[in-house]
Copies of this chain bind each other. A is one copy, B any other.
């Protein structure tokens, strides 16, 4: 049975990732777009989700690719209209609203899927398996990229709720929380806010796992030149490195896994499966760590940032 899908928010991530992935996923039929200004040839477009929910009865599920600050009202409207919902990361602007969406989806018997695309990177599942057979000594996360390249002119990311450097950083946290065999807890956080912005441009975090393994994290958006998305895992049996955002896995210095990116295809296949099974999948732990970092973090002001 084919599932009629509505896509809300036709920005960069929707065009770069969602549209190709939907096109390659059997059992999904893109039948409506919700976007204030943008349209897609051949697909009915609606200016907002309320209009779409009202006017496109063939939509059974929606994906929300809009900025996180307004996503709660959209997700709530979709669930109240009886639609399954898939959320881009982060799943919302606050933890309270996600807790409420989980309750609502459960009460209505609908699928809610909070996606963490980086968890679908090729090296993540094998790294997780490997760490269950090794003794971990330390974890070092380095996520350094050039915000001007990856988020050109995206004003929402600098506004409250936009998360700043945690927008990419949460990808690292989503991988770490997936692969570590234990829970981790934030101990210290230093957040660097540009003088003219509401969200941080850099963050240094120190976590510790239940058994005491240190997890140090460096997020920085001021990187030019080579970009770094590395998770280095120091184990008693030798070094394990997840690089390029999880897509390459090196074990004891030897590259073991490097596959072409299929993160979003995996997400859509999983969304289809969740709907067919009547299940939901909402893990808030990456966003909870980010909230903890804001709650516990020491703020420092740094040079203003101009786009």
Residues of A within 8 A of B (CB): 72, 93-97, 99-100, 160-161, 163, 183-186, 188-189, 193, 198, 210, 285, 288-292, 294-299, 301
Contact = CB atoms under 8 A, between A and B. Distances in A.
Given A198-B299, A295-B161, A289 B96 contact: yes
Contacts of A290: 295
B294 A96 contact: no
B96 A183 contact: yes
Given A185-B100, A210-B100, A93 B299 contact: no
Contacts of A292: 94-96, 291
Contact of A288 (B93, B95, B189, B289): B95
Contacts of A160: 188-189, 296-298
A94 B185 CA distance: 8
Contacts of A299: 193, 198, 299
A210 B97 CA distance: 10
SS of A interface (majority)? mixed
Contacts of A94: 185-186, 292, 295-296
26 contacts: A72-B185, A93-B296, A94-B185, A94-B186, A94-B295, A94-B296, A96-B184, A96-B285, A96-B288, A97-B185, A99-B288, A100-B185, A100-B210, A160-B188, A160-B189, A160-B298, A161-B295, A161-B296, A163-B295, A193-B299, A198-B298, A290-B295, A291-B291, A291-B292, A294-B295, A295-B295
Nearest to A94: B292
Give the oligomeric copy count: 2
Contacts of A296: 93-94, 160-161
A57 B289 CA distance: 36
Contacts of A95: 95, 288, 291-292, 295
A188 B93 CA distance: 11
Contacts of A99: 285, 288
A294 B210 CA distance: 25
A63 B97 CA distance: 31
A229 B198 CA distance: 30
Contacts of A185: 72, 94, 96-97, 100
A112 B224 CA distance: 48
Contacts of A298: 160, 198
A165 to B, nearest CB: 14
A221 B259 CA distance: 55
The 7 closest A-B CB pairs, nearest first, are A94-B292, A294-B294, A291-B291, A294-B295, A161-B296, A291-B295, A160-B298
A202 B26 CA distance: 53
